[in-house]
């Protein structure tokens, strides 16, 4: 036993001493443009491992690669000039796919002969100019780009490069590609499997999330983290990693530019504050060096401040607000890339860092992390003898920790759950017993949690379709290791969902806590969630007004049960389209009670310091003070009702000037008696007693800023059913830019909290600067 402990300690010891492959292959790359104002000889190439020469273009007729005659000399001499300064540097030729105007690229993708012509020309140009590989930039997923064809291009490109290398005897050309984070925020993905198999790495375009030319709220354009939105780099990288994309093929984009916003006023808290557009330059963008000069010349002693919550530097002078990456943000991002095991970083763009302040910071941050990695091996060397002497103790302690670790906690929790359910410790009497499922059973039912059986993914984790041995279909929700939720939400959902029995609530069948897993097993909903129909241009036609009314009534009845008819008052706190599931007859069922809270019948409201839910569905009193009551779900229901009758998302901007959120847009049209402009034109209420206009007015009553102005769920149900009853006129909705004169002045501070919904992020532009 002692010898086993010594072997284990030696194994850990030598693992720590083994050189990391990450340190040998760390990529420090940068884009260099043919029109940039920096000489190649002036680039401090010691700060980079790879330089990317941009851009070559695709001929729309021949689909072959070409460079402008005026810049051909630049491309022809690029590699020689760079390697003269640093012979070890790698150079890549970048091809521009067009981004918002990908017509030539799309045309090339559609035909195999065109793809072959493009591939052969890229290899020929790369060899002609002495490049070590090719970079594909400007591929932005859209309806015009067929992802199957893109996957075929990458596969054929890899085959072509391999064949050329075998024939010529030269090293294989590298193949890399720029991948934009913005489409991932909108759940629009690239062909990740093909990218992973055929490319050497990808550059993450991890910036330009928010632009002053496109949005009316001042937000950081390159946030590493964002507590209020999924528009951040950490979300993008986590999304890719949880889908099996290897960290060793990800290169993090570092922006050497920022944006200036013109705010509506001089409020001290600028993030999320209403803005009127760009400042300083036409589109608000300017490079790092120019930003530093602007702060020096016009700041009058003011300096930028580093915000660690978002990992961004901020400067404020009067109503001008600038967000950019200074040395603190660059250091944080490079450190993050190292900790996540990424391949390196890529600079956009190099000429904005004329004194190499940011590039040196990036290099130092990566070296600091490398030095820290060697701290533990040195420490282990100094205590190696102690580890050998106490080898037996280490072995026994490891066995003890294994038996009393998280597995023991999970088993204890599972046992307590079983006891509570069997004893009937629930919210209501007559609750049926939950079934305890084994991990092996669920693994077999879901075909080892295969991607083909994956139904979707939420805050708790992925959901899989499964089939039990007796033929019953189930839905298995499995806690993700990267989820912010855990034991509390799991226990909450088990106790609540099992106890609340209603035809419009999803039924929980059981749970699993085997093998350190947390899984919830539900009845299977074959038609998935409501959002897949509301916001899909094709599926929305499956919902005529009769079906919509049926869904609205079902959601209303589910909420009535939660608020009025169960023994306790239940506040869901996350009611939204994706949490309304549809069975085989399109009956709606409210799901996901992980964030729900229980009230006694005589309670009115409660307070929390932990703000949860989905932005866009969260009422203002909860955002500002953490106060929640039954009026929380009333507000969310109002937002959902507006989405059902319009088919519109709650993150886009509407109106002639595209400066109104969904709620305010609906209110303005209702006030001007133009309600039909808001409605989905495919909906016809002529044969129904429930009218679109009535639903719109009720929805606007539900989303009023003050909780006391909103109706109860009983009143909502009555107003929807009784068309002839009188209904109050709604006041301006929450988060409106222009308040009514009789509204409280302090409500204006809520505007800055109107962050876009997690599920409805918009695509921002990215232009070479």
Mean pLDDT of 434-455: 91
In the DSSP assignment, the letter for residue 211 is -
Q: Give the CA angle between residues 199, 203, 204 to the nearest 5°.
A: 125
Decide which of 218 and 622 is more confident: 218
> Residue 9: pLDDT above 70?
no
Whether residue 240 contacts residue 185, with contact meaning beta carbons closer than 8 Å, is answered with no
> Residue 602: pLDDT above 60?
no
Percent of the chain that is helix, strand, coil (3-state, to 5):
45, 20, 40
Q: How far apart are CA 431 and CA 433, in angstroms?
A: 6
Taking only the tens place, the pLDDT of each residue in 456-502 is 887 778 999 999 998 999 999 998 776 666 677 788 778 777 777 88
Instruction: Supply the residues annotated as catalytic.
Output: 574
| pLDDT at residue number 376 | 52
Q: How far apart are CA 659 and CA 383, in angstroms?
A: 64
Q: How far apart are CA 535 and CA 586, in angstroms?
A: 17
| pLDDT at residue number 610 | 54
| pLDDT at residue number 763 | 27
In the DSSP assignment, the letter for residue 505 is B
Mean pLDDT of 27-46: 86
| pLDDT at residue number 397 | 54
Residue ranges and CATH numbers for the domains of the chain are 22-257+325-373 (3.20.20.80), 418-523 (3.30.200.20), 531-753 (1.10.510.10)
Taking only the tens place, the pLDDT of each residue in 13-26 is 444 444 443 344 79
Query: 602 to each of 563, 564, 568, 596, 599, how far by Cα in Å?
Result: 12, 12, 10, 18, 8
Query: 139 to each of 144, 191, 626, 628, how far by Cα in Å?
Result: 11, 12, 42, 44
Taking only the tens place, the pLDDT of each residue in 389-437 is 766 665 555 554 444 444 444 455 455 555 544 444 443 433 356 888 9
Ramachandran sector of residue 515 (left: φ over 0; alpha: ψ -120 to 50; beta: rest): left
> Residue 446: pLDDT above 80?
yes
Segment among 31-35, 701-705, 735-739 with least mean pLDDT: 735-739
Mean pLDDT of 260-268: 85
| pLDDT at residue number 751 | 38
Quote the strand ranges of 206-356, DSSP E: 250-255, 257-263, 275-278, 285-287, 305-307, 312-317, 320-324, 344-348
Mean pLDDT across the chain? 82
Whether residue 311 contacts residue 223, with contact meaning beta carbons closer than 8 Å, is answered with yes
At how many degrees (to 10) do helices 375-382 and 357-373 cross? 20
| pLDDT at residue number 599 | 66
Whether residue 58 contacts residue 118, with contact meaning beta carbons closer than 8 Å, is answered with yes
| pLDDT at residue number 483 | 64
> Residue 713: pLDDT above 50?
yes
| Strands laid side by side in the 435-436 sheet | 435-436, 508-512, 519-523, 473-478, 462-467, 454-457
Decide which of 373 and 159 is more confident: 159
Structure tokens at 705: 């800023």
| pLDDT at residue number 355 | 84
Name the nearest CA neighbour of 503 among 565, 561, 463: 561
């Amino acid at each position: 036993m002692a010898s086993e402990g010594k072997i284990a300690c030696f194994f850990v010891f030598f693992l720590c001493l083994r050189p990391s492959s990450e340190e040998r292959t760390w990529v420090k790359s940068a884009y260099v443009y043919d029109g940039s104002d920096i000489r190649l000889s002036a680039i401090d190439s010691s700060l980079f491992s790879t330089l990317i020469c941009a851009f070559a273009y695709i001929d729309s007729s021949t689909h072959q690669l070409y460079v402008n005659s005026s810049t051909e000399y630049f491309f022809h001499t690029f590699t020689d000039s760079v390697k003269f300064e640093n012979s070890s540097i790698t150079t890549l030729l970048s091809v521009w796919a067009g981004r918002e105007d990908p017509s030539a690229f799309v045309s090339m993708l559609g035909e195999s002969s065109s793809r072959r012509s493009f591939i052969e020309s890229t290899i020929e140009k790369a060899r002609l100019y002495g490049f070590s590989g090719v970079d594909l930039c400007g591929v932005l997923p859209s309806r015009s780009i067929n992802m199957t064809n893109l996957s075929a291009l990458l596969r054929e490109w890899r085959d072509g490069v391999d064949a050329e290398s075998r024939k010529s005897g030269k090293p294989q050309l590298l193949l890399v590609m720029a991948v934009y984070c913005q489409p991932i925020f909108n759940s629009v993905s690239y062909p990740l499997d093909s990218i992973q198999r055929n490319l050497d790495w990808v550059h993450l375009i991890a910036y330009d999330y928010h632009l002053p030319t496109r949005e009316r709220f001042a937000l950081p354009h390159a946030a590493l983290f964002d507590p209020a939105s999924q528009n951040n780099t950490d979300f993008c990288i986590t999304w890719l990693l949880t889908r099996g994309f290897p960290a060793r093929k990800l290169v993090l984009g570092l922006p050497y530019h920022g944006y200036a916003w013109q705010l509506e006023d001089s409020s001290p808290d600028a993030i999320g504050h209403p803005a009127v557009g760009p400042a300083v330059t036409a589109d608000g963008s300017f490079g790092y060096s120019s930003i530093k000069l602007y702060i020096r010349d016009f700041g009058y002693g003011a300096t930028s401040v580093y915000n660690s919550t978002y990992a961004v530097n901020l400067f404020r002078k009067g109503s001008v607000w600038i967000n950019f990456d200074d040395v603190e943000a660059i250091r944080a991002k490079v450190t993050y890339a190292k900790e996540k095991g990424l391949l390196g970083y890529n600079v956009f763009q190099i000429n904005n860092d004329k004194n190499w302040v940011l590039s040196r910071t990036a290099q130092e941050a990566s070296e600091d992390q490398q030095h820290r990695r060697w701290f533990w091996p040195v420490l282990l060397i100094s205590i190696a003898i102690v580890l050998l002497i106490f080898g037996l103790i280490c072995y026994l302690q490891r066995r003890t920790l294994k038996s009393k670790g998280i597995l023991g906690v999970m088993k204890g929790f599972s046992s307590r759950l079983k006891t509570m359910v069997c004893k009937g410790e629930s919210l209501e009497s007559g609750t049926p017993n939950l079934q305890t499922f084994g991990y092996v059973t669920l693994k077999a039912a879901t075909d080892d949690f295969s991607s083909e059986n994956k139904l979707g993914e939420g805050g708790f984790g992925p959901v899989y379709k499964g089939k039990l041995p007796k033929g019953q279909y189930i839905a298995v929700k499995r806690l993700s290791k990267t989820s912010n939720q855990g034991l509390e939400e799991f226990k909450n959902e088990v106790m609540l969902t099992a106890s609340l029995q209603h035809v419009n609530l999803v039924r929980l069948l059981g749970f699993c806590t085997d093998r350190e897993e947390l899984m919830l097993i539900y009845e299977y909903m074959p038609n998935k969630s409501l959002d897949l129909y509301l916001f899909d241009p094709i599926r929305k036609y499956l919902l005529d007004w009769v079906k919509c009314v049926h869904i609205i009534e079902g959601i209303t009845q589910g909420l009535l049960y939660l608020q009025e008819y169960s023994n306790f008052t239940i506040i869901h706190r996350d009611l939204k389209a994706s949490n309304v599931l549809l069975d085989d007859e399109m009956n709606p069922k409210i799901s996901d009670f992980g964030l729900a809270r229980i009230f006694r019948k005589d309670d009115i409201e409660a307070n929390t310091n932990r703000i949860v839910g989905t932005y866009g569905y969260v009422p203002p009193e909860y955002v500002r003070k953490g106060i929640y009551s039954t009026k929380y779900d009333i507000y969310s229901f109002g937002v959902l009702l507006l989405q059902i009758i319009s088919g519109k998302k709650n993150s886009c901007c509407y109106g002639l000037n595209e400066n109104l959120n969904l709620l305010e847009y609906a209110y303005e049209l209702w006030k001007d008696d133009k309600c039909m402009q808001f409605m989905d034109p495919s909906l016809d209420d002529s044969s129904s007693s429930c009218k679109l206009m009535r639903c719109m007015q009720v929805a606007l009553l539900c989303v009023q800023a003050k909780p006391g102005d909103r109706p109860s769920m009983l009143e909502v149900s009555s107003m929807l059913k009784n068309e002839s009853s009188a209904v109050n006129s709604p006041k301006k909705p929450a988060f409106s830019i222009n308040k009514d004169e009789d509204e409280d002045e302090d409500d204006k501070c809520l505007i800055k909290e109107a962050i876009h919904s997690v599920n409805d992020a918009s695509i921002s532009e990215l232009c070479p600067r």
